[in-house]
Chains A and B, each alone.
Chain A
């Protein structure tokens, strides 16, 4: 008889192994830092201090966390349906269009109305940009990985065209829209000023609560609703889904739309909360980081929030590091992040056999 697949205690599986992978990633990254002639321990110190050593560092960390949580959740929802949505970047970018259209055209409405409308528009535009590949997959069998990647490029070109030719005010040199004043989400420094607190400058704004709410919502959807049950069944066993009479085409399109809507919420943070205008490449790669975040977070909302914080730390600490040590450029930071992704995602199971040998409790 075949051997049963080794099962590990949960804390090893979701706690120890990721930490071990992270440690190995940091060691290898440290070696790279040594090669370019810097002290890795010092570099690590600068990174940690840059992210955790000040209010400003923390606030940036959570600002990044907000973005990565949205895109991580987006990847996770699709993943539970057995779909690999690589298009979070394009969906988030395209969603900025929704935020800007509402924000720039409905300025006469009071903010408690226009902000929710802009949020819905962001989600809706993001959902649409993922729904189209979903339909192509469900009805025509076009592979979702290919179509979502292509949709990233289409979104990028389309947005350049629209921002340059439609949104850019006449006579302005910078390729960006005019300021969005109506759907303006105040950041915490501005909010603090309203009640007389003085806080350092920060991009962090209440959208982070929306991110946490979205994480809870995804958990509820997947494990406490019938739709979530169907999504997970289609993802885990399409044959069983067919047997159960679950409409797979519907599940594919619906879960892609939900995935795109989550990615689209990134533009709430960036367009409405930080930049206050539509500008080029505002998603800044967060859509791709979301893939790593979802992998590391095991596609579970709690894991995703934690993984998003870790990547927030790497981003913020990395930025500080490239300021402090010119030898370690922005690109080096990307290398380090890439190593983390490699060990957390691609080599996820590298240490599993050893752990299995270590933690097996022989019975009988």
Chain B
């Protein structure tokens, strides 16, 4: 049987970056094909070439055995290739129907297209179990349903091959399961699905075959049934990696941070952090799990002094800091903060690495007396931190933007950990970071814990929370749903993340 899609010898450079090196790939019709690789391995580039966003320097694309030229996403759609992006391309104030029709209006008047779409949507919903109210406004739908609309959009335009780019990043485990069921139905009806992800578990759960990319090259393609998580991980990074973090028992000491009945309301008056209480002790890592957008970011902001609590109290080392909370005061008191969003907060892209490496700590007298900023001291300090944290390249004068995600994160961690804080607040320490750096970062966090420091960790990666934390709190809709210890069952945590409390009822 001819494959649905064949990519032959695809080669693509962006300036000095060789994003795809002579990549070949065949995707069987009616299958779910996973593509995995670290960040920067070239999977998104490859799919962008297939979808017409980029143009390959060399190579050929065949759809259903026939060579085709795909110069734009319109060409791709015309050849039956549809894509569901990581960040949805939906118009929020529009209804589901209007979004589905977008780009396929067909005439100056929209009425006939909408009527046709309504009929087609019913048909699709019936065939693929893709139920969505066509008249609902996109902005009011949960993300899981928004994603469904993206899939409907592609199918409405006649997609036979569906590319999904990191589709589960924003979903609860439950929603992800639903998505997988839908993808299974699509396959059974003869559609072809390409799934880009860096989550090995998803690959194992639903794909038929899996291709691994590493540094722009295609390392290999396996039948999913005949491979294992360990083998795929090794193919991705080129060596065996520790998937579990090795750590000893925690020896928690006295309480460092105590949060009492903390509430934070946004401008509309919605409680984004809702009556939250917990504590963090010396020598332990407390993890806050939850699907992104359930108040974890706001909670971090309030504790770090960036936002002010609406009500409630924060006690740090016996002192109530609610009214005093500004980030500089907290840093002086011994609170370090690795922000969730390193690109927008953790560093300044246009600054030299050495300048980013003092962000938030530039008031220190060791970096220059009074008014003066001693550039030599700044650079020297940065050089030391870079050596200590194995930042590559170890060049304090290189622009912050030029480091890879993992190395940027190491610069930030080095900055915060080297200040010897009593409490470290960490948000998404390994988001968008390659596996090698993840391992390193996890080890440093454990080491800090073992020095008797208190760590508050927020992550949307449940695996990360489970492997690092000594205690796990689950947040949902601004509330703490419950506390579990590190050995908690994954399914139970997943239920809490979805807002289902076991003890309730």
Residues of A within 8 A of B (CB): 1, 3-7, 223-230, 232-233, 236-237, 239-240, 242-246, 356, 360-364
* B327 and A233 within 8 A (CB): no
Could you give 10 example pairs across A and B, Cβ below 8 Å? A1-B19, A225-B371, A226-B367, A229-B358, A232-B348, A233-B351, A236-B351, A239-B344, A239-B345, A361-B16
A6 to B401, CA, bound (A): 12
Q: A237-B344, A243-B306, A243-B345 are in contact. Are A4 and B368 (CB under 8 A)?
A: no
Report B-chain residues with C-beta under 8 Å of the C-beta of A7: 402
Q: A4-B15, A243-B327, A244-B360 are in contact. Are A224 and B348 (CB under 8 A)?
A: no
Report B313 CB to chain A, min CB distance, Å.
Answer: 21
Report A-chain residues with C-beta under 8 Å of the C-beta of B346: 240, 243
* B348 and A233 within 8 A (CB): yes
Is B123 close to A, CB under 8 A? no
Report B127 CB to chain A, min CB distance, Å.
Answer: 35
Q: A1-B45, A233-B348 are in contact. Are A243 and B339 (CB under 8 A)?
A: yes
* A228 and B16 within 8 A (CB): no
A362 to B17, CA, bound (A): 8
Chain A residue, CB-CB nearest to B331:
A245
* B18 and A245 within 8 A (CB): no
* A228 and B373 within 8 A (CB): yes
* A6 and B15 within 8 A (CB): yes
Report A-chain residues with C-beta under 8 Å of the C-beta of B355: 229
Q: Which of B360-416 contact A (CB under 8 A)?
A: 360, 362-363, 367-368, 371-373, 375, 401-402
A3 to B316, CA, bound (A): 44
* A236 and B348 within 8 A (CB): yes
The 3 closest A-B pairs by CB, nearest first: A245-B327, A245-B328, A3-B14
A242 to B304, CA, bound (A): 11
Report A295 CB to chain B, min CB distance, Å.
Answer: 17
Which of B16, B42, B328, B367 is in CB contact (< 8 Å) with A1?
A: B42
A361 to B39, CA, bound (A): 24
Report B-chain residues with C-beta under 8 Å of the C-beta of A237: 344-345, 348-350
Report B-chain residues with C-beta under 8 Å of the C-beta of A356: 15
A363 to B19, CA, bound (A): 12
* A362 and B362 within 8 A (CB): no
Q: A4-B14, A4-B17 are in contact. Are A243 and B372 (CB under 8 A)?
A: no
Q: A225-B371, A227-B371, A229-B373 are in contact. Are A243 and B16 (CB under 8 A)?
A: no
Is B347 close to A, CB under 8 A? yes
Is B326 close to A, CB under 8 A? yes
A8 to B375, CA, bound (A): 25
* B345 and A240 within 8 A (CB): yes
Chain B residue, CB-CB nearest to A244:
B360
Query: Apart from A226-B368, A243-B360, what 18 extra A-B contacts exist at CB < 8 Å?
Result: A1-B19, A1-B42, A3-B17, A224-B372, A229-B355, A229-B358, A229-B373, A236-B351, A237-B344, A242-B306, A243-B337, A244-B359, A244-B360, A245-B331, A245-B360, A246-B328, A362-B15, A363-B16
Q: A229-B362, A236-B350, A237-B349 are in contact. Are A244 and B327 (CB under 8 A)?
A: yes
Is B31 close to A, CB under 8 A? no
* A245 and B39 within 8 A (CB): no
Which of A3, A226, A227, A233 is in CB contact (< 8 Å) with B359?
A: A233
Report A223 CB to chain B, min CB distance, Å.
Answer: 8
Report A-chain residues with C-beta under 8 Å of the C-beta of B345: 237, 239-240, 242-243
| Residue interface mask B27-41, A partner, CB < 8 A = 1 | 000000000000110
A4 to B40, CA, bound (A): 11
Which of B14, B326, B347, B367 is in CB contact (< 8 Å) with A240?
A: B347
Q: A226-B371, A243-B360, A244-B360 are in contact. Are A364 and B348 (CB under 8 A)?
A: no
* A1 and B39 within 8 A (CB): yes
A1 to B48, CA, bound (A): 9
Report B298 CB to chain A, min CB distance, Å.
Answer: 14
Report B-chain residues with C-beta under 8 Å of the C-beta of A244: 327-328, 359-360, 362
Is B329 close to A, CB under 8 A? yes
Is B13 close to A, CB under 8 A? yes
Report B477 CB to chain A, min CB distance, Å.
Answer: 25
Report B88 CB to chain A, min CB distance, Å.
Answer: 18
